[in-house]
Homo-oligomer: A and B are copies of this chain.
Amino acid sequence: MAKAPVLTPQSDDFPRWYQDLINKAELADNGPVRGTMVVRPYGYSLWERMQSEMDDRIKRAGADNAYFPLFIPQSYLSREAEHVEGFSPELAVVTHAGGKDLEEPVVVRPTSETIINEYFSKWVQSYRDLPLLINQWANVVRWELRPRVFLRTTEFLWQEGHTAHATFEDARDYAAKIHREAYEDFMVNVLALSVVPGRKTKAERFAGAINTLTCEAMMRDGKALQMGTSHELGQNFAKAFDTQYLAKDGSREHVWQTSWGSSTRMVGGLIMGHGDDNGLRVPPRLAPIQAVVVAIKEDEGVLAEIKAIADRLSAAGVRVRVDDRTDTPFGRRAVDWELKGVPLRIELGPRDLAEGQAVVARRIPGGKSPVSFEKLTETVLAALEEDQETLLRESRERRESHTADVATVEEALEASATGWARIPWATLGVEGEKQLAAQAVTVRCLVREDGGVPESDDEPGAIAVVGRSY
């Protein structure tokens, strides 16, 4: 079916396509204060599904949710030198409250390491209190100079985990556990994005960390998006906030810590990782609506049958929605469900009803075909499985076909025009990294040849994955 394009084609102008999609699929609006966003109901339902899947994984990893205040005394941030240097330029400051100027201004949290450590230092007394594993779902504020909806907003929603451990090894292992079992597992198996797990170089580390692990996803324009990071903080914050514990041997030791975060930026990754010229494509395991059952036109029998179909699908565990808005033209509704990326559209009109069948339109591979009512549930379940695999395979193939193994900085820059380059870190080094940075190309992460994560920057054989990024 020939259609006038509803979105600017990706190949014409990718950033414009992105913004068009966000508007037309009703995912988000810009907020009134520069760089803020309004997450509209459908966009928020994507985030709620992300939260639910991530929260399960975080709880399975043993962390408990808690909540720390939005407002942090300005003096807290100054206690860890690299941390304050990293975040100072982005802070929003409350100077006036309750009708008066404040004696000490308070900052709106850009992240919560400092305020959480203030409490960890009270709560942790002995080795029995360790590990202390805390997560919080919250909003944070970082004043952005070049905001873009979902990707870089002044206020965003995220989870931030903060943990304290008795030993370096335990902290290191926990940061790695979250990196693999919460982040990578969710991104690959739910978001269907073939992310590369790796280690950040010193230049790219979180402000105050001794190591940052990352999951990097390739977007459909070949650029990278950092999807979630997990940090080893060493004893930096423990020393700044004097977070000590009494060890079994009676000595007092500073704790070893981690922090880790993932945010509404993942919604941007979902859009740019899977969307096409007709809109979003949502992987079935994430999809808040996996199948929509659409009445083509007003008809008593049709309206009864779409509800019956929806009930059967729902009983089979499918997240299903009924579309009985027959006062809106069918074509417009079909385009809307395509824009929103709902994997399956089950269409029913009076003639279909008479023939005992519905038409199943598939967003991910495309195409539509009639399916008898008896076979419908089984067809839907099989299609959802298949679509999940298809999106992950496409993501992996795109990344692999747009990643070049190179041997020089020049070749790395060339490859970064359309995708990523892999170059031995021993060849690139800190100097090469600076040369790339001058062209807005960065080392996304260091990886091992076997897909593992190097234990240090100078591990022999480490490979730098480089590219342009959001």
Contact residues of A with B, CB < 8 Å? Answer: 29, 31-33, 36-41, 43-45, 47-48, 64-73, 76, 88-99, 105-106, 108, 115, 118-119, 122, 128, 134, 138-139, 141, 143-145, 154-155, 157, 327-328
Contact = CB atoms under 8 A, between A and B. Distances in A.
Contacts of A108: 70, 94, 108
A41 B65 CA distance: 6
Contacts of A96: 92-93, 95, 105
Given A38-B69, A138-B139, 9 more contacts: A32-B72, A33-B69, A33-B73, A38-B68, A70-B70, A90-B98, A92-B96, A93-B96, A98-B145
Given A89-B98, A139-B139, A44 B32 contact: no
Contact of A67 (B38, B73, B138): B38
Contacts of A36: 69-71
A2 B48 CA distance: 48
A430 to B, nearest CB: 28
A64 to B, nearest CB: 4
A44 B119 CA distance: 15
Contacts of A48: 65
A106 to B, nearest CB: 5
Q: Decide if the interface of chain A is mainly helix, strand, loop or mixed.
A: mixed
Contacts of A31: 68-69, 71, 115
Given A40-B66, A68-B38, A92 B97 contact: yes
**Copies of this protein, total:** 2
Nearest to A90: B98
A342 to B, nearest CB: 15
- The 10 A-B residue pairs with the shortest CB-CB distance in the complex, in nearest-first order: A98-B143, A41-B64, A36-B69, A31-B69, A92-B97, A39-B67, A93-B96, A33-B71, A97-B143, A95-B95
A154 B108 CA distance: 13
A70 to B, nearest CB: 5
Given A67-B38, A155-B71, A97 B91 contact: yes
Contacts of A73: 32-33
A39 B70 CA distance: 12
Contacts of A328: 128
Contacts of A47: 67
A160 to B, nearest CB: 14
Contacts of A91: 97-99
A165 to B, nearest CB: 17
Contact of A32 (B41, B115, B134): B115
B67 A32 contact: no
